[in-house]
Chain A
């Protein structure tokens, strides 16, 4: 026999348990490749999001370097337990896109979630890299940097150069390098990520093609064209500089990065993301400047190409996870979060709103040079400068590394090296096309 109080009790218990069930948190798995202080940044982003709402919990997991993280994601996908969000480096973009059904485009995720999403608010040169030709955003730009020019002001002074006037053109770079060498600098100029800085970004900066079909954005049948006259001339210049000891090759990928903050090399083209390292470790006055260009090339300087990674949404996850992903992406794209990230890491802000917010906060004035990277990107893009999307891109970069090494070592001419690189690279593109017949 039910008394009134026990039915009240039953009702109370029932409603409490229902509330509990309605607030069961959905866990969003986010696999990333950010170690060191960037790992702290990722964890703080997740924490900020988790603290701001109760429905979803983003769980970031470090999965090694970019190739290791991608391999982990692929292995998990093949075994049927992929994460929700996977951070993939820019050269893996074509691989992610070409695999039918492995990913869900970000544009679709955002649209399906019903949340407000404005693709036009994203910086074209940044988001364009990760956008399909029809305008649908495929992945969310996360940590994008671009190529800039670092120089050692103290070394400039010692060589009789004006430390406040960095070389703006490549001929000026060569002249400055000669003076630096004369004043005793063993390494006047070097570069890291040679394919990215001296061919990919270089091409976009000069509004010439790196590959056909709008650098691959227009189709999987793109082929390389970076052995054109502008690029050839540039590599020949570098070849001459190398012969005179003005350009010193310091290794593949980012091996050269350490040489600038340590004072070993006086000028360097590299990633804007190196700024934090330079700021912390350089024991000399330094400056940041836009990438040099050739003034006689029409359209130069246009805009540079980004590097870094983006966030992809994997398919096959439970339906309620996608709304969580969309909510998280909205959070990441909000001007406050973007501006804070940009200031903390040096990575580019991905929305115009966050750029304006950072600007109005006076950050660029207080930290001179930090707006160089952004300025190179906040422009209208052309068909040749929106970004690059090529299959087997990692192999192509390695091929460029290998061929150019022959040039710096004096074993091949610039023309031979570039032609061979294009030929070998095109073989890679043909293979990719064959393996990913759509």
Chain B
């Protein structure tokens, strides 16, 4: 991450003190347990940990020789792209317009942010209510419109469902941060441009979007991380990776193996692979995309 401030403070000890609290918390509550969890990727253990065996790279070999694991790479790529791009685009549009209007602004913003407060447990149930083939309100409407919705047996419907459910949650989240970003753009800049005769479309692309780019970059990275790591709950509540394995993204399999199947070695091995993928992706984003960001 090459972006640096030109003017900095000098102190040998102050920065360490400042990062101290966070370092302690993540050291004790993340790195220490994470190291142990990852260690299990080279072990084979029973669920209760009463017998442990070192198996070297056997867990890794096993997952890579499973064709469905390799297939889930593709599923994950499609899913994450749709969720990240879809989520950011939709919420950006909504944020721009919500920032624009004056009448009803508070109501719009509250109603668009509030769905983030729906607890994931309840959200899962709601999606079932809405999309259950034939009785869900939405699938009922879709069928009346001539569209035969069945996410239980149709892979594309299933993917559409989990993308929608994942994006929905993120729209509120992204919207909120875009609003915050828009709020910090000085109105004087926009007024000056308007006085110069620039129309809204032009103002957006030459002023707003560039000034919003730190927020956009932030959301891009966060949304991709979200799509890769935080969506297993939604998938578990709706399709459970089905039909077959058509919506079994990588992190779902990690969750299933670690949490339900209690195959700790396999789950840990998959976590390592997943982490490497996303770290690589993130490094690439910081290296290439961040160049375009206006700070």
Do A and B contact each other directly (Cβ–Cβ < 8 Å)?
yes
Which residues on A are within 8 Å of B, measured CB to CB? Answer: 67, 70-71, 74, 77-78, 95, 98-102, 186-187, 249-253, 255, 258-259, 262, 264, 392, 394-395, 398, 401-403, 405-406, 408-409, 411, 431, 434-437
Query: What are 22 of the A-B contact pairs (CB < 8 Å)?
Result: A70-B262, A71-B259, A74-B47, A77-B48, A95-B47, A99-B46, A99-B48, A100-B51, A249-B153, A251-B132, A251-B152, A252-B242, A258-B135, A394-B260, A398-B240, A402-B243, A406-B244, A408-B153, A409-B153, A409-B244, A435-B45, A436-B51
Q: Which residues of A contact B152 (CB under 8 A)?
A: 249-251, 405
**In the bound complex, do residue A402 and residue B134 qualify as a contact, i.e. CB atoms below 8 Å apart?**
no
Q: Across the interface, which residues of B come within 8 angstroms of A78, CB to CB? A: 48-49
**For residue A252, which residues in chain B have a CB less than 8 angstroms away from its CB?**
240, 242
- Which among A98, A409, A434 has the greatest number of chain B C-beta atoms within 10 A? A409
Chain B binding site: helix, strand, loop or mixed by DSSP?
loop
Q: Are A187 and B134 in contact (CB under 8 A)?
A: yes
Please report the C-alpha to C-alpha distance between residue A392 and residue B266 in the assembled complex, in whole angstroms: 13
Q: B134–A186 contact, CB under 8 A?
A: yes
Whether a CB of chain A sits under 8 angstroms from the CB of B230 is: no
Residues of A within 8 A of B203 (CB): none
Q: Nearest chain B CB to A191's CB is how many angstroms away? A: 13
List B contacts of A435 (CB < 8 A): 44-46, 51, 53
Q: Mark B47-83, 1 if CB is under 8 A from A, else 0.
A: 1111101000000000000000000000000000000
Cα of A409 to Cα of B152 in the assembled complex, Å = 9
A402–B245 CB distance below 8 A = yes
Query: What residues make up the interface of B, taking CB atoms closer than 8 Å to A?
Result: 44-51, 53, 128, 132-135, 152-154, 240-245, 256, 259-263
Closest to A259 in B: B135
Contacts of A394 in B (CB 8 A): 260-261
**A258 CA to B133 CA in the complex, in Å?**
12
Chain B residues near A262 (CB-CB < 8 A): 135
A250 to B262, CA, bound (A): 27
Task: Find out whether the CB atom of A405 lies under 8 angstroms from the CB atom of B243.
Answer: yes
The answer to whether A250 touches B133, judged by C-beta atoms less than 8 angstroms apart, is yes
Q: How far is the CB of A338 from chain B (nearest CB, A)?
A: 30
Closest 3 CB pairs of A and B: A99-B48, A409-B153, A102-B48
In the assembled complex, which residues on chain A have CB atoms less than 8 Å from the CB atom of B263?
392, 395, 431
Give the contacting residue for A434; candidates B44, B128, B261; CB below 8 A: B44
* A residues less than 8 Å from B49 (CB atoms): 74, 77-78
| CB of B256 to closest CB in A, whole Å | 8
> A264-B135, A398-B240, A411-B244 given. 18 additional CB < 8 A pairs?
A67-B260, A74-B48, A78-B49, A95-B46, A95-B47, A98-B46, A99-B46, A99-B47, A251-B132, A252-B242, A255-B132, A259-B135, A264-B134, A394-B260, A395-B263, A402-B242, A405-B153, A405-B244
Q: Nearest chain A CB to B150's CB is how many angstroms away?
A: 9
C-alpha spacing A70/B240, complex, angstroms: 19
In whole angstroms, what is the CA distance A434 to B262 when docked? 15
CA distance A67 to B47 in the complex (A): 12
CB distance from A213 to the nearest CB of B (A): 20
When chains A and B are docked, how far (Å) is the Cα of A253 from the Cα of B238? 12
Residues of B within 8 A of A401 (CB): 240, 242
- How far does the Cβ of A388 sit from chain B's closest Cβ, in whole Å? 17
Complex CA gap A161/B263 in Å reads 49
In the complex the two chains form, what is the Cα distance from A187 to B152 in whole Å?
Answer: 15
Cβ–Cβ < 8 Å partners of B135 in chain A? 258-259, 262, 264
| Alpha-carbon gap, A262 to B134, bound state (A) | 12
Tell me the smallest distance from the CB of B210 to a CB of chain A, in Å.
47
- With contact pairs A262-B135, A392-B261 given, residues A402 and B244 touching in the complex (Cβ less than 8 Å): yes
Which of A78, A186, A251 is most buried by chain B, counting CB atoms within 10 A of its CB?
Answer: A251
Residue from B50, B134, B244 within 8 A of A99 (CB atoms): B50
What are the residues of chain A within 8 A of B154 when measuring CB–CB? 409
A436 proximity list for chain B (CB < 8 A): 46, 51
Contact in complex: A409, B133 (CB < 8 Å) = no
**Chain A residue with minimal CB distance to B155?**
A409
| CA A411 to CA B128, docked complex, whole Å | 25
CA distance in complex: A78, B50 (Å)? 9
Residue of B nearest to A409 (CB): B153
Q: Which residue on A lies nearest to B257, using beta carbons?
A: A395
B74 to chain A, nearest CB (A): 17
Return chain B residues, CB-CB under 8 Å to A437. 51
Shortest Cβ gap from B34 to chain A (Å): 15
Q: Give the docked Cα–Cα distance between A264 and B140 (Å).
A: 13
Smallest Cβ-Cβ distance to A405: which chain B residue: B243
**Are A255 and B46 interface neighbours, CB within 8 A?**
no
Contacts of A101 in B (CB 8 A): 50
Across the interface, do B262 and A406 meet the contact criterion of CB distance under 8 Å?
Answer: no
Chain B residues whose CB sits within 8 angstroms of the CB of A98 once the complex forms:
46
Nearest chain A CB to B260 CB, angstrom units: 5
Chain B minimum-CB-distance residue to A71: B259
With A186-B134, A255-B128 as known contacts, state yes or no: A395 contacts B242, CB within 8 Å: no
Q: Are B128 and A100 in contact (CB under 8 A)?
A: no
Residues of A within 8 A of B262 (CB): 70-71, 74, 95
Q: Which residues on B sit within 8 Å (CB–CB) of A255?
A: 128, 132
Tell me the complex Cα distance, A428–B262, Å.
12
Q: How far is the CA of A392 from the CA of B257 in the complex (A)?
A: 10
Name the residue of chain A whose CB is nearest to the CB of B153.
A409
With both beta carbons as reference points, the residue of chain A lying nearest to B135 in the complex is identified as: A264
Residues of A with C-beta under 8 A to B241 = 402
- Selected contact of B243 from candidates A95, A99, A406, A434, CB within 8 Å: A406
Given contacts A392-B261, A409-B153, contact A258 B132 (CB under 8 A): yes
